Structure 1
């Protein structure tokens, strides 16, 4: 039964961790975003995040976005720098039309840092993309 379920490959949907200035607190913050580069809206987007290492594990964070419009992005969460020494995963599930898609994005430990910043599509900022 399980082998009969086919979940297609996710294309043009990204997770980025961006270093940006917070006007309210006058600080540089790291924020995680989901980016929809598709030409269609994504519906019922579910994101489950966690961090882990051999001997540590963070609590699980869940976020739901009813609709993520085409060519847009949404903030997922503020990330504390203490988390960057862990592997951080973002499990993303969504519907495109009547088809379900699922992908787990991984930020390996110590890969989120100022030296790794690169241009982020659609957002016109620099950050780190998950793989």
Structure 2
């Protein structure tokens, strides 16, 4: 029975960490975004994030988005710089049509930093991207 279950590969959906200026608090903040670079809308997006190392683990953060339109992005959470010394996972599940997709994105410890910034799809800013 297990062999009959087909898990489709996720393509065109990314997680990015962006360093951007917060006009309200007048500070530089790191924010996590989900990017939908597909030509179809995504429905019922569930994102579960956590951080861990050999001897530390963070609490679990959950976020739900009802819809993420095609070729768009949405802010997931504010990230504190202290978390970058940990491995950070983003478990993303969503529906595309009637099919469910699931993928875990991993930012390895110390890989989120200003030297790792690159151009991001759809966003006109630079950030750290996991595909």
- Bin the TM-score by the shorter chain: over 0.9
Number of aligned positions between the proteins: 131
Please give the alpha-carbon distance, in whole angstroms, between the structure 2 residues aligned to 1:62 and 1:13.
18
User: How many angstroms does 1:4 deviate by?
Assistant: 2.2
Q: Is it true that 1:41 corresponds to 2:47 in the alignment? A: no
Give a deviation string over 1:6-29, Cα, whole Å, max 9, x none.
Answer: 110000000000000000000000
Give a deviation string over 1:19-51, Cα, whole Å, max 9, x none.
Answer: 000000000000000000001000000000000
Bigger mean CA deviation after superposition, 18-27 or 2-11: 2-11
Give runs of ≥4 in structure 1 deviating > 2 Å: 1-4
User: How many angstroms does 1:5 deviate by?
Assistant: 1.7
1:1-131 matched pairs, under 5 angstroms: 1-131=1-131
Please give the alpha-carbon distance, in whole angstroms, between the structure 2 residues aligned to 1:64 and 1:29.
22
Q: TM-score, normalised by structure 2?
A: 0.98
Please give the alpha-carbon distance, in whole angstroms, between the structure 1 residues aligned to 2:12 and 2:40.
11
Please give the alpha-carbon distance, in whole angstroms, between the structure 2 residues aligned to 1:2 and 1:44.
25
User: How many angstroms does 1:93 deviate by?
Assistant: 0.4
Q: Cα RMSD over matched residues?
A: 0.8
User: How many angstroms does 1:3 deviate by?
Assistant: 3.1
Q: TM-score, normalised by structure 1?
A: 0.98
SS in 1 for 2:105: strand
Give a deviation string over 1:35-84, Cα, whole Å, max 9, x none.
Answer: 00001000000000000000000000000000000000000000000000
